[in-house]
Chains A and B, each alone.
Chain A
Amino acid sequence: MKIKMSICLRCLLIFLFFVPVIGIAGCISIQLIAPYDQKTDDGVTNLQKVTAEFFTKIERQGGSLPDDYKNHSKFYDDSKIALSVLLVRASAISNNIKTVKELESLSQQFKKLEEDHKKFGIPQAAVPQLEFAFNRTFRAILTLEVAKKEPKP
């Protein structure tokens, strides 16, 4: 009798110990940074395409003087809207502060580009360097976003 109870008690103790531990270990995974977001990826990629089209157009026409700015106001308006959409979405995702800051930085770049376009224009020689600077930011945002995907086992 005593031996039977001892075995039963041991079984119960093992069960009581392992099951919660397994349960906890199975549930816990650390989330230091937001997960991958397809819409952010698509939105940034699309904005990069639109920006590339703008720079190509400016380069083809031999640069853009300050007076020519008004012919490109739609590009600046559309970019502002696209960035606003991206920022609102990124801000709504938790642990996503890095992507939010990157989008804010990109937003500043567009704002600065618009101001400088109005004041100084965009010479043809400056277009490649502008494109490099913007692509660097786009690349940074997309590199981080893609890295957030679940690692392959």
Chain B
Amino acid sequence: MVQASANSLIKGGKQAKEYATHEYTQFISDIEHVQTMAEQKLVTKDVAQYLVEQHKLSMRAVLLTIEGLGEISVQNAINAGMKVLNDALIASLGTAFQALKFTL
């Protein structure tokens, strides 16, 4: 039961980590690019500012997704454990019923 829960948690954690790493790296790269464009006067300061604001707003969604992936991971881990327990109980009950029949 613990193994089933742990496997589920590890899988979910790995997914969240990969996603977060990729998005953070991309975000930093994008901000640096905006700064470069402003320095090279490819865009005005006002445009550079609004580009940075857009990136900041998008990172809000990324953080919410990371939280959500964590919740899903915990949910799946608990349900994986419950399933193992459920299967074990059914197996026990099946065995108990067989024994009962034999005795009767």
- Chain A-chain B contacts (Cβ-Cβ < 8 Å), number: 135
Is the beta-carbon distance between A144 and B86 smaller than 8 angstroms? no
Q: How far is the CA of A62 from the CA of B62 in the complex (A)?
A: 30
Q: How far is the CA of A29 from the CA of B103 in the complex (A)?
A: 35
Annotate A125-153 by CB proximity to B: 1 below 8 A, 0 otherwise.
11001101110110111011001100100
A16 to chain B: closest CB distance in Å? 12
**Total contacting residues, chain B, CB less than 8 A:** 49
Is the beta-carbon distance between B75 and A33 smaller than 8 angstroms? yes
Is the beta-carbon distance between B58 and A137 smaller than 8 angstroms? yes
B100 proximity list for chain A (CB < 8 A): 11, 14
Between A99, A105, A140, the greatest number of chain B beta carbons within 10 A of the residue's beta carbon is seen for A140
Is the beta-carbon distance between A109 and B57 smaller than 8 angstroms? yes
Q: How far is the CA of A99 from the CA of B50 in the complex (A)?
A: 24
**Total contacting residues, chain A, CB less than 8 A:** 46
Is the beta-carbon distance between A144 and B57 smaller than 8 angstroms? no
Instruction: Please judge, given known A-B contacts A109-B58, A132-B30, A140-B58, whether A126 and B51 are in contact too, CB under 8 Å.
Output: yes
Is the beta-carbon distance between B57 and A141 smaller than 8 angstroms? no
Annotate B29-46 by CB proximity to A: 1 below 8 A, 0 otherwise.
010011001000011101
- Hey, which bits of chain A sit against chain B, CB under 8 A? 7, 11, 14, 18-19, 21-22, 25-26, 28-33, 98-99, 101-102, 105-106, 108-109, 112-113, 116, 119-120, 123, 125-126, 129-130, 132-134, 136-137, 139-141, 143-144, 147-148, 151
Given contacts A33-B72, A98-B68, A136-B58, 13 further A-B contacts (CB under 8 A): A18-B89, A22-B89, A29-B82, A32-B71, A33-B71, A98-B67, A123-B43, A129-B54, A132-B55, A133-B55, A136-B23, A136-B55, A147-B15
Q: List 5 A-B contacts (CB under 8 A).
A: A11-B100, A32-B72, A112-B50, A123-B42, A132-B26
